[in-house]
Chains A and B, each alone.
Chain A
Amino acid sequence: MRAVVKDGIGIFYPQGFLDGNNAPSYLTIEDINATEHLKVDMLLVSLKKVIFFNLNGLDVFVKLLLRIRTKNHISVGICDYDHKKYEAIMTYYKDSLSFSLFKTSKIAELFSSSYSVKDKTVLLYSSDPSQRSALAIELYDHGHNPIIAQTKEEFDEKSMHEDTYYVIIENTRLGLMGQKVATRVTGNAIIYTVSGFLDAEISDTFNIAYHTNSLNVGFRLFIFDAYKVISMNVHAVNFLAKLSSSAAEYNATICFVGMTFEKTPVAFKNELEDSGLMFFENMDDILKDKELLEELGGSSVAVVKNKRSLTKTIVQELSEFIDATVSTIEMMTNAKAVKKSVTMQTLVIENIEDKMASSIGFYGDIDGMIILIFPSEVAKKSCALLIGEETDDVNQILDALAEFVNIIGGRTKTLLSEKKISVDITLPRTYATAQSLLEVASSKKGVQVDMSFNDDNFTFFLTR
């Protein structure tokens, strides 16, 4: 069994009965290896379709989760259960519960740094005051607005106004959260969240490949959210100084926000400033100051001065990228996709109104970005298999487009690996309008392929 990955969360979905006799059969050695190599910041087991489980059965999955957490520094836990199952888990693990419990996967998403939706008002209750605080702090840190019920009575009363809240959180507990440096994208800035004492371990927990790829695909502003950093040592200073120096080669800026130097030598701050790193007291000092944002490079990725062009290797492998796109379209629509024109140019989008787009970056032996642009109606048709039913909900369509381009990324990775070219893919990104895509990619040169299926047109664009 393989985990399904979405928005940086991997979830296993076993079905039926889970006991000590059958649970090992869910996870082959290949499955375990594949799970270890997943690029996720949270790994969960869903009990939604499990009708019966016992300690021995659940423990097979829990042991895997704990192993992955130790190895990859990510958050792990169990989700999608009712009160009875929650009570059973609490009984089984009462003295050793070190993983998280999320009543639903929707609740789990709120605690994932890769989840793009922020600023949700949620109702929260836990009978354990320390859990209540921990949950509230994490939710707040992830950009949400938790309303905390201090008593069960208060919770029951507030729960009656269900529509007021994005979600109601109960029967949920936080275990050890992942120590991986969490990453999220805000506009055209990348935000890394760090906390505690920063030492040599930061070089393990920071995803340098993702950072390099973000530089390569044109991001120019990187912000470390350091409100919860207590202090750092010389190893962390060296790491950050190097990061800042290498960013300068791309004309990029690295900022540190919210860190007080009460317990850290001021000399460290000076050293980091010398290497080009900038310090700010509040996140809003940057994100809400348009002029400063523009100056720092976070207003648009398109401000890149040294535009990168496609390499010979990428052009040589163009057919693989197109094949991956065509075969995915054909798989999802059961219609024949036809290539209409191929040109090397800057991105041109005709009839810019009512278009949606998605993109995914790849990095490794070669690096670049695949962009797909669809008229909204065509996007809906292309993703019908993923959406399942007719919908005009833009968020749902964008969500499906992200899954769609993720499948293309996965297929491209497979096709290239057959030619001994190793690449990894980034999280997908979606654009509700073509205008928002152009802000990022209008000046990029690449290969534009106009395609059609069932007389519907769409555009594929490959760039760096």
Chain B
Amino acid sequence: MVTPEDIKEYIKKIPPTPAILNQTIFHVNAGDLNKAARIAEEDLALKAYLKTLVNRPIYGFKNEITELPQIFSILGANAAKQSLYNYLLTLLSPNKWVLFKMNQHLFCDLQADLSRNWHNILIHLGVDDKDIESAITLLPSSIIICEALFKDNIENVQLLRSAKNLDYNTILKRLTKLDLFDISKYISKVWQMPESVGTILLASSGIKPSMDADLNKLGKWMHLLLFYQLSKPQFIEAGLNDFVEFNTEYVMDIYEDFMQLMEVQS
């Protein structure tokens, strides 16, 4: 089915961060949002992405926001950096989805929902850190990797899953000794994201807790947030609800807090 060679091939194809994006991120990190916006103007696809992103209902703006300086100013440094990484991830996503019933629009919806809710979680937890805010952007990469590696094995996976309750992450791990989150962490290195991003991401898998209690706690929140999002009807219908295994025990200590924050009522 999927072999270690397939993973090597996939990793080889991960593009480095484009130069314009690199410079934009550099200026966001330095706190110069005006300069970041001016550089971002040079990449029309990036500009279009950011415009569409901030005008999604979840951001709640009444009037359409069209100018990049305004977008960067509204987002602020943390959310701007997060959005730039979200854009970077769309460069990895397929033009046509086969394994999951997804499309570009739905994928961007998922990114926006995750980013916005993660932002609220970090405020709730009193965490103000650009890198940690950006960590959420890499979470959906596991979906893109899963699509790429399994899209040619749909029938095989269906047969296997009819006999045994196995998620894609477990199948991949058993076949190749690497799982989706290991590959996501590798992507974070290629894109020169900080080490903490990779650590939170691994912890968010629900099977690789971190020794660092603070980062592990963030991993738990991310794990629960992922399944909160994947329980939305559109993502269940897309086949994403059980692509990785949900570890309910792992998140039990933050569950009540999460439910209050998300205002989920029985």
Which B residues are CB-close (under 8 A) to A26? 236, 241
Q: Is A394 an interface residue (CB 8 A)?
A: no
Contact-size category for B = 35 or more
Q: Is B30 an interface residue (CB 8 A)?
A: no
Q: Is the CB of B3 within 8 A of A334?
A: yes
Q: Is A5 an interface residue (CB 8 A)?
A: yes
Q: Is the CB of B227 within 8 A of A51?
A: yes
Q: Once A and B bind, how many residue pairs between them come within 8 Å at the CB atom?
A: 100
Q: Is the CB of B241 within 8 A of A14?
A: yes
Q: B237 — nearest CB in chain A belongs to which residue?
A: A25
Q: B226 — nearest CB in chain A belongs to which residue?
A: A16
Q: Is B44 an interface residue (CB 8 A)?
A: no
Q: Is B260 an interface residue (CB 8 A)?
A: no
Interface residues of B in 156-193 (CB under 8 A from A): 156, 159-166, 170-171, 174-175
Q: Out of B166, B174, B251, which one reaches A51, CB within 8 Å?
A: B251
Q: Out of B163, B224, B230, B236, which one reaches A5, CB within 8 Å?
A: B163
In the complex the two chains form, what is the Cα distance from A16 to B264 in whole Å? 13
Known: A15-B227, A22-B231, A407-B159. A334 touches B164 (CB 8 A): no
Q: Out of B163, B228, B233, which one reaches A407, CB within 8 Å?
A: B163
| Binary flags per residue of A110-140, CB closer than 8 Å to B gives 1, else 0 | 0000000000000000000000000000000
Which B residues are CB-close (under 8 A) to A21? 233
Q: Is the CB of B162 within 8 A of A18?
A: no
Which A residues are CB-close (under 8 A) to B159? 328, 331, 407, 410-411
Q: Is the CB of B237 within 8 A of A385?
A: no
Interface residues of A in 307-333 (CB under 8 A from B): 327-328, 330-331
Interface residues of B in 232-261 (CB under 8 A from A): 232-234, 236-237, 241-242, 245-246, 248, 251, 255, 259
Q: A82 — nearest CB in chain B belongs to which residue?
A: B248
Q: Is the CB of B227 within 8 A of A17?
A: yes
Which A residues are CB-close (under 8 A) to B255? 51
In the complex the two chains form, what is the Cα distance from A245 to B245 in whole Å? 52
Which A residues are CB-close (under 8 A) to B165? 4, 11, 13
Known: A4-B163, A334-B1, A385-B160. A16 touches B174 (CB 8 A): no
Q: Is A406 an interface residue (CB 8 A)?
A: yes
Q: A411 — nearest CB in chain B belongs to which residue?
A: B159
Which A residues are CB-close (under 8 A) to B63? none
Q: Shortest beta-carbon distance, A330 to chain B, in Å?
A: 8
Q: Is the CB of B160 within 8 A of A13?
A: no
In the complex the two chains form, what is the Cα distance from A462 to B231 in whole Å? 45
Known: A22-B231, A406-B163, A407-B160. A331 touches B1 (CB 8 A): yes
Q: Is A197 an interface residue (CB 8 A)?
A: no
Q: B265 — nearest CB in chain A belongs to which residue?
A: A54
Q: Out of A1, A22, A51, which one reaches B246, CB within 8 Å?
A: A51
Which A residues are CB-close (under 8 A) to B171? 385
| Binary flags per residue of A39-56, CB closer than 8 Å to B gives 1, else 0 | 000000000111110100
Describe A's contact surface by its main secondary structure: mixed
Q: Shortest beta-carbon distance, B14 to chain A, in Å?
A: 23
Q: B156 — nearest CB in chain A belongs to which residue?
A: A331
Interface residues of A in 22-48 (CB under 8 A from B): 22, 24-26, 28, 48
In the complex the two chains form, what is the Cα distance from A388 to B2 in whole Å? 16
Q: Is the CB of A403 within 8 A of B237?
A: no
Could you say which of B170, B227, B245 has the most chain A C-beta atoms within 10 Å of its C-beta?
A: B227
In the complex the two chains form, what is the Cα distance from A331 to B156 in whole Å? 7
Q: Is B266 an interface residue (CB 8 A)?
A: yes
Q: Is the CB of B164 within 8 A of A18?
A: no
Q: Is the CB of A49 within 8 A of B246?
A: yes
Q: Is the CB of A25 within 8 A of B164?
A: no
In the complex the two chains form, what is the Cα distance from A11 to B166 in whole Å? 13
Which A residues are CB-close (under 8 A) to B237? 25, 28
Q: Is the CB of B161 within 8 A of A4?
A: yes
Which A residues are CB-close (under 8 A) to B162? 2, 4-5, 407, 410
Known: A15-B241, A22-B236, A54-B266. A386 touches B251 (CB 8 A): no
In the complex the two chains form, what is the Cα distance from A339 to B181 in whole Å? 37
Q: Is the CB of B230 within 8 A of A16?
A: yes
Interface residues of B in 188-215 (CB under 8 A from A): none
Q: Shortest beta-carbon distance, B254 to chain A, in Å?
A: 11
Q: B1 — nearest CB in chain A belongs to which residue?
A: A331
Could you say which of B155, B231, B251 has the most chain A C-beta atoms within 10 Å of its C-beta?
A: B231
In the complex the two chains form, what is the Cα distance from A15 to B165 in whole Å? 12
Q: Is the CB of B264 within 8 A of A17?
A: yes
Which B residues are CB-close (under 8 A) to A1? 236, 241-242
Which A residues are CB-close (under 8 A) to B245? 15, 49
Which residue numbers of A lie inside 8 Å of B, CB to CB? Answer: 1-2, 4-6, 11, 13-18, 21-22, 24-26, 28, 48-52, 54, 327-328, 330-331, 334, 384-386, 388, 403, 406-407, 410-411, 414
- Further pairs besides A28-B237, A331-B1, A410-B159: 14, Cβ < 8 Å: A6-B163, A15-B231, A15-B245, A17-B228, A18-B231, A25-B236, A51-B251, A52-B264, A328-B159, A334-B2, A334-B3, A385-B175, A403-B163, A403-B164
Can you give 22 A-B contacts (C-beta < 8 A)? A2-B162, A4-B161, A4-B162, A4-B164, A5-B163, A13-B242, A15-B227, A15-B230, A15-B241, A15-B246, A16-B228, A16-B246, A17-B264, A21-B233, A49-B246, A51-B224, A51-B255, A54-B266, A334-B1, A403-B163, A403-B164, A407-B160
